Structure 1
């Protein structure tokens, strides 16, 4: 029977590997710690006899698909644009009120209609994302909010209702992306530290994008002397993001980097 420290080292994944293959795979993709030919484990098995380092059913190790890092970087960039677009209006809100001759109660509806459509459509987008192409849904959502934001910048002074409608459509587009994109980021990253870093970078865009939205709105309004130009920045950047999304992002298979579940450590076995 292997000693306690040996068992702990065998199960350790602190170096960034996954539970089923804590070391790098061979050049042919096979796992260097696959079970023996007779099915026995190269280290002490779990209490039920299962191997704690079993690879996938085809003998391969769970690894990230090709182009995963670039795909994750593009998704993080799009998430940054999402939050920039969400808060750009807030940076020019006094000018919006003057342009449409409205008060605070009416201008507050801009965020209310956005949140309302976002809340209603997010569950539907999640349902679709679990059953259809996630990349197609992300592309549709990105194109939708970029087009709606650009259209809202051309609304005349007497058409405040049209700007409200545009912000509701923006909420629908961002609901599609924010609901589905994190699942794609997770499937592009092996479990453990790589996935944690990927999701951490994705959600870092929330505070960064929010702050940049305020800054962009205020600065562009000062330079262009027209608040409507502030709404035209993120759609242009969104068009670039859409091209990158369609051409470069990998639509990873659901659960492709997951590993077989492991039993919790057996205290009696570890202590031997």
Structure 2
């Protein structure tokens, strides 16, 4: 059964309609953050940014986003996930518009920090909302389809962002995106006013809630694995377009396309296949979703290493495809697996804590890669990240839900 147990007299959202509405928000969430990375060369030229400062564009966002994620997750559990989603959407859309009007690197870094604060409100609340709305037999597929919105945002951030930057300038790109987000907020606000959301059940005091999670060994393993995966993800998100420009002599738009399209299309396949298969595997084994994640990361790691070693562009594309496929198998099961070990009233909070660790580690890697780029090149950073994914495989392999979970 789903967890639509609230007593709100308003009509409840259909579970798949909810996924569709949130898919657009998810796409905007990642598009607004990702578009800056495809414009690094333009930002470096117009604002006079160094490679280290460009690395900080990713790091500042990730650290503020990550540090605020646990608090945003708890507020979603406590005061309503839809409220927190709407608040985040309107604020980050306004900040995106403001980014198009910055004049210095320092102002750019401030807007990235503000975007991190506002975007922290979305993902913990949205994933918990999707999982609560769907019965166990469709949770991974629903979470995966929602995840495809994030992938679409990454693709648009690379392809549309690169094209927009080359043809109309980076300022216009941020201005347009901010306006689109504000318009969709008005649509979503009007729609959600007429519908109820599922009740998460009892939500403990913040200290008790965080304490309960941090005393849970399974949650700690899940969080550590999620953080390690974040190292690899954010390295790829932040630096792959620049890596392709410098090592394969691609133009800005071509690099944005190659850095996002192959990987994200493969990730689409991974979340659909992984969501469908793990939902069915879970009906016969309580470890079905966990083992799907293990397989996914086991596939992704060696091909991430390959991306950092090959000089052949076709082989690089193969590595991107298989890395994306494996990542999709992992991503579609993140919240469904978390739900096996954490009570409904703490799922947004738990995901927020995991997101915090992922972003802090990912921010370190984004900044470190900026330093490595000027010293030994980015290939070494990709190779180290592949080894990190293998550690995540070991942590997930040890998870064994109790029958009651």
Normalising TM by the smaller chain, what interval? 0.5 to 0.7
1:158-183 alpha-carbon deviations (Å, 9 max, x no partner): x3211111111111111100111111
Which residue in the other structure is 1:77 paired with?
A: 24
Write the deviation string for residues 175-210 of structure 1: whole angstroms up to 9, x where unpaired.
1001111111122223312x3322111112232221
Q: How does 1:7-156 map to 2 (within 5 A)?
A: 18=1, 65-156=12-103
1:178 aligns with 2:93: no
SS in 2 for 1:98: helix
Tell me the distance in 2 between the aligned counterparts of 1:237 and 1:70.
21
Distance in structure 2 (CA, Å) of the matches to 1:186 and 1:227: 37
Corresponding position of 1:188: 133
Partners of 1:134 and 1:105 lie apart in 2 by 37
Residue number in structure 1 paired with 2:189: 246
The 3 A distance-change label for structure 1 pair 208 and 168 is same
Residue pair 2:42, 2:165 contacting (<8 A) in 1 also: no
- In the alignment, does 2:172 pair up with 1:229? yes
8 Å CA contact 1:134–1:251 kept in 2: the answer is: no
Deviation, structure 1 residue 116: 0.6
Counterpart Cα distance in 1 of 2:87 and 2:19: 18
Supply the distance in 1 between the matched residues of 2:68 and 2:182 (Cα, whole angstroms).
23
Structure of greater relative contact order (alpha carbons < 8 Å, 6+ residues apart): 1
Secondary structure in 2 matching 1:92: helix
Residue of structure 2 in register with 1:168 after alignment: 113
**CA distance, structure 1, for counterparts of residue 65 and residue 122 of structure 2:** 11
Instruction: Look at both structures and tell me which one has the larger radius of gyration over its CA atoms.
Output: 1
Query: SS of the residue aligned with 1:86?
Result: helix
Q: TM-score, normalised by structure 2?
A: 0.45
Give structure 2 stretches of 5+ with no counterpart.
Answer: 6-10, 202-338, 340-401
Mean Cα displacement is larger for which, 77-86 or 240-249? 240-249
Question: Is this contact kept in 2: 1:217–1:231, CA < 8 A?
Answer: no
User: SS at 1:154's partner residue?
Assistant: coil
Give the conservation status (yes or no) of the 8 Å contact 2:86–2:185.
yes
**TM-score normalised to structure 1 length:** 0.66
Inter-partner Cα distance in structure 2 for 1:197 and 1:234: 28
Is the CA contact 2:48–2:105 (under 8 Å) kept in the aligned structure 1?
A: no
1:229-265 Cα deviation digits (max 9, x unpaired): 1212322221232123212234412258x9xxxx969
Instruction: Report how far residue 102 of structure 1 moved.
Output: 1.9
Report the CA distance between 1:133 and its aligned residue.
Answer: 2.1
Deviations 1:59-88 (A, max 9, x none): xxxxx9344433321111110111111110
Question: For the residues of structure 2 that align with 1:216 and 1:162, how far apart are their CA atoms?
Answer: 24
The aligned residue for residue 210 of structure 1 is 154
Partner of 2:250: none
Structure 1 alignment gaps of length 5 or more: 1-17, 20-55, 57-63, 266-272
Q: Distance in 2 between matches of 1:125 and 1:237?
A: 24
Q: Is the 8 A contact 1:72 1:188 kept in 2?
A: no
> How many residues are paired up?
197
Q: Provide closer, same or farther for how the CA distance between residues 108 and 66 of structure 1 changes in structure 2, counting only shifts above 3 A.
A: closer
Give the root-mean-square deviation of aligned CA atoms: 2.6
Larger proportion of helix? 2
